[in-house]
Amino acid sequence: MGINLRSPAELEKMHRAGLIVWDVLTLLREMVRPGATTMELEKYAERRTDEHHARPAFKGYLGYPCVLCASINDEVVHGIPSPTRKLKEGDIVSLDFGVEFEGYYADAAVTVPVGKIRPELRELLRVTREALDHAIDKMRPGNRLSDISAAVQTWVERNGFSVVREFVGHSIGTKMHEDPQLPNYGDPGHGPRLQEGMVLAIEPMVNAGGPGVRVLEDKWTAVTADGSCSAHFEHTVAATSNGPWVLTRPRGVTGPSW
Ligand code: MF3
Ligand code: CO
Band of pLDDT at residue 157, cut at 50, 70 and 90: very high
Q: Where are the beta strands (DSSP E) in 186-242?
A: 199-202, 205-207, 213-215, 222-224, 230-232, 235-240
State the pLDDT at residue 70.
98
Q: Is 62 strand, coil or helix?
A: helix
Biggest CA-to-CA distance, the chain: 49
Q: pLDDT, tens digit, for every residue of 64-117?
A: 999 999 999 999 999 999 999 999 999 999 999 999 999 999 999 999 999 999
107 strand-pairing partners: 98
29 φ/ψ angles, rounded to the nearest 5 degrees: -55, -40
Band of pLDDT at residue 152, cut at 50, 70 and 90: very high
Judge if the beta carbon of residue 61 lies within 6 A of ligand 1: yes
What is the distance between the alpha carbons of residues 230 and 150, in angstroms, rounded to a whole number?
A: 19
Which runs of consecutive H residues, i.e. helices, occur in the chain?
8-31, 38-51, 119-137, 145-158
**Mean pLDDT score across all residues of the chain:** 98
Band of pLDDT at residue 208, cut at 50, 70 and 90: very high
Band of pLDDT at residue 217, cut at 50, 70 and 90: very high
Count of alpha carbons within 13 angstroms of residue 165, beta-carbon side = 5
Judge if the beta carbon of residue 58 lies within 6 A of ligand 1: yes
Q: pLDDT, tens digit, for every residue of 34-52?
A: 999 999 999 999 999 999 9
Nearest CA to ligand 1 atom 11: 58
Percent of the chain with pLDDT over 90: 99
Q: How far is CA 174 from the centre of its chain?
A: 18
Residues with CB under 5 A from ligand 2 (ion): 107, 201, 203
Q: pLDDT, tens digit, for every residue of 174-186?
A: 999 999 999 999 9
- CATH for 8-246, among 3.90.230.10, 3.40.50.720, 3.50.50.60, 1.20.210.10? 3.90.230.10
Mean pLDDT across 2-10? 97
State the pLDDT at residue 25.
98
What is the distance between the alpha carbons of residues 162 and 35, in angstroms, rounded to a whole number?
A: 30
pTM value is: 0.98
Judge if the beta carbon of residue 232 lies within 6 A of ligand 1: no
Domain ranges in the chain are 8-246
What is the distance between the alpha carbons of residues 38 and 240, in angstroms, rounded to a whole number?
A: 36
Q: Is residue 256 a contact partner of residue 133, using CB atoms and an 8 Å limit? A: yes
* Ligand 2: centre distance to CA 106 (Å): 8
Count the neighbouring beta carbons within 10 Å of the beta carbon of residue 31.
14
Mean pLDDT across 30-36? 98
Angle between helices 145-158 and 119-137 (to 10 degrees): 160
Judge if the beta carbon of residue 44 lies within 6 A of ligand 1: no
Judge if the beta carbon of residue 64 lies within 6 A of ligand 1: yes
Residue 1: is its pLDDT beyond 90? no
* Ligand 1: centre distance to CA 61 (Å): 8
Angle between helices 8-31 and 38-51 (to 10 degrees): 140
State the pLDDT at residue 5.
98
* Ligand 1: centre distance to CA 109 (Å): 10
